[in-house]
């Protein structure tokens, strides 16, 4: 063990909240198969959809463990299922992992690259008398499964080795139809663990595979393939979700009984669930294909590309994954906690700007026409190094429609006739009235400013309760703002048919919003805080002429409140 690793191990074992790290440290320290080895993990997505926040948890655990112990983590496409997997998914998976800040270097693999070896492993098992060709059809196999007090029945179990060898080869050569035969491991028909009751390890499937083409018409089952993939890549710790716990005895059985170059160890952790969303790829695909969202990267989706478009930062997602911890008990995390982690990050890094999303004009009647003043304001009060910018002020500006009430409700501290408010960083103004159209709608608000209150200060110390944001009506940028609410109307959309709980008002598009000029200097996916409104990010569909913002998260912390 290198000095560096030793130190990490010693520091960590004292206060480790991650039980996987505790296991790994024990393995590294105590000798045996792992002693002195480089920790080697892998992330094995099935390339049949985009990665979601649940995958981010697994990625942080897999790549995180490798990073922590100065080891390695492979990226492996788990493509043993012969579906029409798309290059689009493979590319997107790579992009998302890189975006999170992890790197697999040149260790990028496809499980299908090992099909020849897997076939050889199966032949080895047959030759050892540890696997046999079975002719039970699917429903028969089910009927023969037995129960806790009755062992399974398997009439082909004692088939001679030579016969199985020749049938398996003929299966491979395409002589049989789908479902006609399987290859089963010969383990224990009476096992209390049904995964050990002579599980199927190969099935016939006359399907084209996106990488191996029509070379194979038999495909290995996940439980047989995965330990072989891990061992071939010299994985030391194969970290996966809890549903594989009952499959671990089979994983270990394969590792024990097949000749393989290494002996990986499987450790399971709890799957991540989050309120107000669905996480299964099948359901996410349905949302896309049935048009409930605009695509996999719709900002309402829990996919990594959706979250990115919403304005989530890699840091916020990694912090979230760190802080939810790693445990053996499945639990559901509140969506508000994810938002909380984003807000924490953006509070430090987002540039402040003023944007009016439901504009109405405010005319300062005692301010001279045809002049304009410039004020200097900080870009982020939490970070001086982010500098300052200039904003202009003139006789007319835009304010939010709901920052004025002709007849104020109780405790209303913004503009109403006779009341004083602060136009953020500019002046104190006193409302003098408004103009209405024939239908009685307010079309313009009037006020007078106090020239002594430049910068929004009150030299005489008088109290001005309300502060509102504004944008110079002579100097602004028009833009569109997308405001998002929960995609589902219940915290548990999985509890019923999730499509029944779609929130029809999850997206509000506001065009004609007025933004200060600073928003024009942006990179795609730049983050802003629109003062008093929340955090927003530039949508990738934006152009210089047509700026579009997505609301990432509001300012109020719904998590702390609870």
**Could you tell me which of 204, 197, 195 has the C-alpha nearest to residue 226?**
195
The residue of the chain with the least Cβ separation from ligand ATP equals 54
Q: Is 280 a binder of ligand ATP (CB under 6 A)?
A: yes
Regarding 264 and contact with ligand ATP (CB under 6 A), the answer is no
Where in 235-254 is the site for ligand ATP (CB under 6 A)?
A: 240-241
From the list Mg ion, ligand ATP, none, partner contacted by residue 502 (C-beta under 5 to 8 A by kind) = none
Q: Is 543 left (phi over 0), alpha (psi -120 to 50) or beta?
A: beta
**Among Mg ion, ligand ATP, none, residue 191 binds (CB under 5-8 Å by kind):** none
- Pairwise CA distance, residues 122 & 115, whole Å: 11
Q: Taking CB within 5 to 8 Å according to partner kind, which of ligand ATP, Mg ion, none is near residue 241?
A: ligand ATP
Catalytic residues: 46, 271, 281
Angle at 434 between CA 416 and CA 395, to 5 degrees: 95
- Based on the shown chain and the rule CB under 6 A, indicate whether residue 314 belongs to the binding site for ligand ATP: no
Confirm or reject binding of residue 272 to ligand ATP (CB under 6 A): yes
Cα dihedral value 92, 95, 98, 100, nearest 10:
-70
Smaller CB separation from Mg ion, 18 or 80 = 80
- The backbone torsions φ and ψ at residue 249, rounded to the nearest 5 degrees and listed phi first, read -55, -35
From ligand ATP, Mg ion, none, interface partner of 55 (C-beta below 5 to 8 A by class): ligand ATP
Task: Give the residue at shortest CB distance from Mg ion.
Answer: 46
Which H or E run includes 331?
strand 331-333
Render the burial of 535-547: b for 16+ CB within 10 Å, e for the rest. Answer: bbbbbeebeeeeb
Can you state the angle between helices 19-29 and 3-14, rounded to 10 degrees? 130
Looking at the DSSP bridge assignments, the partners of residue 466 are 421
Q: Per 3-state DSSP, what percentage of the chain is helix, strand, and coil (rounded to 5)?
A: 35, 25, 40
Rank residues 46 and 252 by Cβ distance to Mg ion and give the closer one.
Answer: 46
Shortest Å distance, C-beta 83 to ligand ATP: 12
H or E stretch covering 126: helix 115-127
Beta bridge partners of 449: 429
Site for ligand ATP in 44-83 (CB under 6 A): 44-46, 54-55, 57-58, 78
Nearer to ligand ATP, 283 or 517 (CB): 283
Per CB under 5 A, contacts with Mg ion among 36-55 are: 46
**54: partner contacted, choices Mg ion, ligand ATP, none (Cβ within 5-8 A by kind):** ligand ATP
Nearer to ligand ATP, 279 or 405 (CB): 279
Q: Is 279 in the site for ligand ATP (CB under 6 A)?
A: yes
Cβ distance to Mg ion smaller for residue 46 or 492: 46
**Nearest distance from C-beta of residue 272 to ligand ATP, angstroms:** 4
CB of 281 to ligand ATP, least distance (A): 3
In sequence order, which residues have a C-beta less than 8 Å from that of residue 277 and are 6 or more positions away? Answer: 302, 335, 487, 488, 493
* Number of residues near ligand ATP (by CB under 6 A): 15
Q: Which two tokens stand for residue 168?
A: 């398996």
Question: Residues in the site for Mg ion, rule: CB under 5 A?
Answer: 46
Question: Residues in the site for ligand ATP, rule: CB under 6 A?
Answer: 44-46, 54-55, 57-58, 78, 240-241, 271-272, 279-281
């Amino acid at each position: 063990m290198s000095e560096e690793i030793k130190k990490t191990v010693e520091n960590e074992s004292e206060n480790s909240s991650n039980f996987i790290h505790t296991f790994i440290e024990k393995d590294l320290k105590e000798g045996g198969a792992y002693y002195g080895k480089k920790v080697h993990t892998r992330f094995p997505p099935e390339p049949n959809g985009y990665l979601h926040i649940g995958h981010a948890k697994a990625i942080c655990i897999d790549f995180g463990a490798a990073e922590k112990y100065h080891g390695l983590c492979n990226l492996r496409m788990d493509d043993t299922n012969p579906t029409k997997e798309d290059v689009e998914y493979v590319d997107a998976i790579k992009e998302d992992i890189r975006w999170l800040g992890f790197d697999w270097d040149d260790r990028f693999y496809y499980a299908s690259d090992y099909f020849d070896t897997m076939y050889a492993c199966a032949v080895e098992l047959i030759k050892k008398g540890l696997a046999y060709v079975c002719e039970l059809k699917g429903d028969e196999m089910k009927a023969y499964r037995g129960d806790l007090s009755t062992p399974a029945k398997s009439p082909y179990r004692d088939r001679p080795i030579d016969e199985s060898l020749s049938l398996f080869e003929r299966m491979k050569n395409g002589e049989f139809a789908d479902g006609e035969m399987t290859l089963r491991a010969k383990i224990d028909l009476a096992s209390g663990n049904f995964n050990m009751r002579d599980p199927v390890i190969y099935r016939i499937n006359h399907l084209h595979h996106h990488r191996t083409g029509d070379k194979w018409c038999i495909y290995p089952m996940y439980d047989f393939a995965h330990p072989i993939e891990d061992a071939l890549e010299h994985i030391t710790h194969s970290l996966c979700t809890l549903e594989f716990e009952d499959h671990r005895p089979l994983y270990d059985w394969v590792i024990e009984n097949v000749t393989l170059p290494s002996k990986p160890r499987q450790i399971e952790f709890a799957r991540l669930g989050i309120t107000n969303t669905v996480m299964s790829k099948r359901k996410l695909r349905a949302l896309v294909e049935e048009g409930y969202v605009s695509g996999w990267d719709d900002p309402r989706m829990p996919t990594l590309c959706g979250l990115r478009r919403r304005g989530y930062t890699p840091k916020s997602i990694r912090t979230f994954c760190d802080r939810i911890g790693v445990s053996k008990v499945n639990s559901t995390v509140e969506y508000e906690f994810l938002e909380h982690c984003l807000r924490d990050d953006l509070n430090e890094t987002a540039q402040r700007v003023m944007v009016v999303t439901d504009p109405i004009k405010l005319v300062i009647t005692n301010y001279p026409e045809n002049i304009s003043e410039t004020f200097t304001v900080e870009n982020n009060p939490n970070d001086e190094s982010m500098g300052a910018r200039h904003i202009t002020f003139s006789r007319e500006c835009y304010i939010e429609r709901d920052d004025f009430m002709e007849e104020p409700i109780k405790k209303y501290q913004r503009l109403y006739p006779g009341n004083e408010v602060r136009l953020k960083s500019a002046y104190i103004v006193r409302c003098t009235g408004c103009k209405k159209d024939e239908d009685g709608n307010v079309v313009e608000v009037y006020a007078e400013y106090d020239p002594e209150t430049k910068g929004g200060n009150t030299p005489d110390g008088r109290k001005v309760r309300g502060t509102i944001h504004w944008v110079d009506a002579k100097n602004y940028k028009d833009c569109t703002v997308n405001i998002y609410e929960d995609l589902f109307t219940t915290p548990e959309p999985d509890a019923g048919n999730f499509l029944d709980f779609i929130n029809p008002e999850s997206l509000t598009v506001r065009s004609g919003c007025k933004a200060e000029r600073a928003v024009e200097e942006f990179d795609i996916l730049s983050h802003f805080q629109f003062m008093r409104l929340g955090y927003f990010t530039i949508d990738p569909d934006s152009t210089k002429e047509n700026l579009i913002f997505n609301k990432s998260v509001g300012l109020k912390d719904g998590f702390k409140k609870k």
